[in-house]
C-alpha cells in the first residue's frame, strides 16, 4: 500500500495505490487509510474491481451505514444509492451546488463513498473545498465574529414538496423522494471541531444552511455569502477527475463538495454509500 500525497494548493486528495480493497484488510491497513483520509479529506482508490457486496464490506470498516432520507436505495442493497444518468436525460445532473452531505441531520454522515462504473469521456468532475484550511485563513476579527454562532440546516430547498426536485418537470433516472419531512430544521455550530483531527472547520453550505440563528435574514445572508465566497476560492478546491473502477471517500466534516455536469449525451453510473457520523457539538 502506497500513498500519493496531494499536489494541489487545497491540501485535499490522497491517492492510495497498490491495494485491493475487494479483499479483507488488516487493522493496520485500515488505520493507515483512515489516518490519511481524515488528514487529506478525500481518499482515492483507483483501479478497483468491486461487486456491490465487496463495496459494502469495505465501507463497513469505517463505520455503520448512514441514513439516506431522500434518495431511494437499491432494493437488493438498501444502503447503496444508484447515481445513474442516461444519455438522453434532460434533468440537471445531481448534486450540482456546494454542499456537505445531509448536514441537516442531527449526526451528519462522516464519510460519503462513490464507486464509479460508467464514466463519460468528458465532464462530470467532482469538486471538493477544504473547509478546515478556509477557517484557518479567516481574519482574527472574522474568527471572533463567527466563534459562537449557530446555524439552522434544512433539506427544504432541494427535497420539500415545493423544492427543486419536486418542481423540476424533467424525467430523472435517479430515484429521489420529496417529502414534507424536508422542512424540518436542525441547529449546528457554524464552526465545528473535527473529532479526529481536532481542527476547526466551517460547517456551513449553500444548499442546506438556511440561516444563522439570532440574525435577520438580511444579516444572515450577507455573512453566509461572504463565507461561501471565501470557502470556494480556487486555493481551497481540489478537482477530482473520474475514471471507471475508482472508489473515493470524502470527509463531510472537513470538506464540502459539488458535482459538475458537461456530459450530456453520455451515460454515467456510480454507486453511493454514506457512513454514519457523530454530533457536531
d(CA 129, CA 132): 9
**Total number of domains in the chain:** 1
d(CA 98, CA 101): 10
d(CA 93, CA 126): 12
Residue 42 CB-half CA count within 13 A: 29
Asked if residue 281 is part of any domain, the answer here is no
Strand, coil or helix: 170: coil
Q: 10-residue block means of pLDDT along the chain (281 residues)? A: 91 97 96 98 98 98 97 97 96 96 98 98 98 98 97 98 94 94 98 97 98 98 98 98 98 98 97 96 84
- Measured between alpha carbons, how far apart are the two ends of the chain, in Å? 35
Asked if residue 280 is part of any domain, the answer here is no
18: left (phi > 0), else alpha (psi -120 to 50), else beta?
left
Q: Which grid coordinates are listed for 208?
A: 442546506
Boundaries of domain holding 178: 2-275
Strand, coil or helix: 59: helix
In this predicted structure, what is the pLDDT of residue 265?
Answer: 97
Neighbours of 273 (CB within 10 A): 27
pTM: 0.97
- CATH label of the domain that carries residue 103: 3.60.130.10
Amino acid at each position: 500500500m502506497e500513498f500519493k500525497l496531494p499536489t494541489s494548493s487545497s491540501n485535499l486528495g490522497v491517492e492510495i495505490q497498490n491495494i485491493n480493497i475487494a479483499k479483507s484488510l488488516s487493522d493496520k491497513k485500515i488505520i493507515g487509510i483512515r489516518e490519511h483520509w481524515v488528514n487529506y479529506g478525500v481518499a482515492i482508490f483507483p483501479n478497483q474491481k468491486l461487486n456491490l457486496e465487496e463495496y459494502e464490506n469495505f465501507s463497513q470498516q469505517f463505520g455503520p451505514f448512514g441514513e439516506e432520507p431522500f434518495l431511494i436505495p437499491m432494493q437488493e442493497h438498501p444502503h447503496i444509492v444508484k447515481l445513474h444518468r442516461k444519455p438522453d436525460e434532460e434533468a440537471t445532473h445531481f448534486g450540482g451546488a456546494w454542499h456537505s452531505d445531509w448536514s441537516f441531520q442531527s449526526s451528519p454522515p462522516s464519510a460519503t463513498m462513490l464507486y464509479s462504473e460508467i464514466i463519460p469521456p468528458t465532464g462530470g468532475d467532482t469538486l471538493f473545498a477544504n473547509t478546515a484550511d478556509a477557517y484557518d485563513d479567516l481574519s482574527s476579527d472574522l474568527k471572533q465574529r463567527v466563534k459562537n454562532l449557530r446555524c439552522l440546516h434544512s433539506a427544504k430547498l432541494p427535497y420539500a414538496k415545493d423544492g427543486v426536485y419536486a418542481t423540476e418537470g424533467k424525467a430523472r433516472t435517479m430515484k429521489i423522494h420529496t417529502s414534507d419531512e424536508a422542512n424540518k430544521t436542525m441547529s449546528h455550530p457554524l464552526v465545528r471541531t473535527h473529532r479526529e483531527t481536532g481542527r476547526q472547520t466551517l460547517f456551513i453550505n449553500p444548499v442546506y444552511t438556511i440561516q444563522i440563528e439570532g440574525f435577520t435574514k438580511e444579516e444572515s445572508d450577507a455573512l453566509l455569502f461572504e463565507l461561501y465566497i471565501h470557502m470556494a476560492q480556487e486555493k481551497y478546491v481540489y478537482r477530482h477527475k473520474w475514471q471507471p473502477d475508482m472508489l473515493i471517500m470524502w470527509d463531510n466534516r472537513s470538506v464540502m463538495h459539488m458535482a459538475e455536469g458537461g456530459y450530456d449525451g453520455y451515460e454515467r453510473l456510480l454507486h453511493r454509500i454514506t457512513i454514519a457520523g457523530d454530533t457536531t457539538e
